[in-house]
Amino acid sequence: MAVIGVVGAGVMGVGVAQNLATGGHEVVLVDRDEAVLAEARAAIARNCRMSRLLGGPAVDTDAVLAAISTAVGVRALAKAEVVIENVTEDWEVKRAVHAELDEVCPPETVLIANTSAIPITRLASVGGHPERVIGVHFMNPVPAKPVVELIPGFHTDERTVARTRELLTSMGKRWVDVKDASGFVSNRVLMLTVNEAAFLLHEGVVDTPEAVDEVFRGCFGHPMGPLETADLIGVDTILYSVEVLHEAYADSKYRPCPLLKQMTDAGLHGRKTGRGFYTYTN
């Protein structure tokens, strides 16, 4: 049983920790605040209880929680064999976390960046061991999504790739090998779609988010429309990802919609805050 560190107890970190625990791993989930960690454990318990109701497998909630310990700060990960970083899609935040991890974790520790847009080679440049840094783009909700993007950086070595594939297999994941380019495959396409959908609402082409989403559900057979997807991922995360793409490619097609900026500033981040393009209740 490997000890796996998970950095960031937000939506993605919670999902990754739960998935690892059900895969038989001992997990150390860290964040900067005890209250955030307490809410993360409560969220994991809720998710486990809801798994069967949502069409997933029955999950032993007590066993999952017993496999997950929590701690404040990344120094608790000094003995982790693998660390998966899941902090917000903000370069300065990720840079600071990776600098801390490089200081705390021994050279043999594999560092996995769960990112949807930031290049892995850039993240690896922060520390002194770029060969042990690799990207895995997990999809939300993590336990329910069977496929990830696997992104080696320029210096990532074969040991790191092999260990990461082994870990993903234990989590029940299949992977698509993707070259290291900002946004990879999924977000080069998805973020453009969501951003343009937000422009449709912002410009008054449609009056409601339901109008956009119904076209995608009813005409194309998508289970969720782009604005529903934005609320699931997090409107703030969508904005940060689009901004990364805009900076990386200097292409006006990635210009962020002002509505995404306004909603992010207003705290309308989607399901995780109770309101985004739609309003949610418990």
Task: Specify the pLDDT at position 54.
Answer: 67
Count of C-beta atoms within a 10 Å radius of residue 182: 21
Beta bridge partners of 5: 28, 83
pLDDT at 210: 98
The separation between CA 66 and the C-alpha centre of its own chain, rounded to angstroms, equals 23
- Helices and strands per DSSP (H, E), number in the chain: 11, 8
Estimate to the nearest angstrom the gap between the alpha carbon of 40 and the chain centroid: 15
Q: What is the DSSP string of 123-170?
A: HHTTSS-GGGEEEEEPPSSGGG--EEEEEE-SS--HHHHHHHHHHHHH
DSSP for 84-97 reads EE---S-HHHHHHH
- List the domains of the chain with CATH numbers: 3-177 (3.40.50.720), 191-273 (1.10.1040.10)
Instruction: Say what the pLDDT of residue 51 is.
Output: 83
pLDDT at 222: 96
What are the distances in angstroms from CA 110 to CA 12, 29, 60, 179?
19, 16, 28, 19
CB atoms within 10 A of CB 203: 10
- Three-state DSSP at 135 gives strand
DSSP-derived pairing of the beta strands 82-85 and 110-113: parallel
Q: How many angstroms separate the CA atoms of 98 and 170, rounded?
A: 25
- Res 7: pLDDT: 98
4 in Cβ contact with 68 (< 8 Å): no
pLDDT at 58: 82
Predicted pLDDT at 53: 76
Name residue 239's amino acid.
L
Cβ contact 116:186 at 8 Å? yes
Specify the pLDDT at position 57. 77
Instruction: Dump pLDDT digits (tens) for 8-17.
Output: 999 999 999 9
Q: Give me the residue label for tokens 């080696």.
A: 152
Regions of the chain short of the pLDDT cut 70: 1, 54-55, 282
What secondary structure letter does DSSP report for 139?
P
* pLDDT single digits (tens) 221-259: 999 999 999 999 999 999 999 999 999 999 999 999 999
Active site residues: 137
Global pTM reads: 0.89
Q: Is the dihedral of CA 184, 185, 190, 192 positive or negative?
A: positive
In order, the DSSP letters of 251-279 are: -GGGPPPHHHHHHHHTT--BGGGTBSSSB
Q: State in Å, rounded, how far the first CA of the chain is from the last one.
A: 35
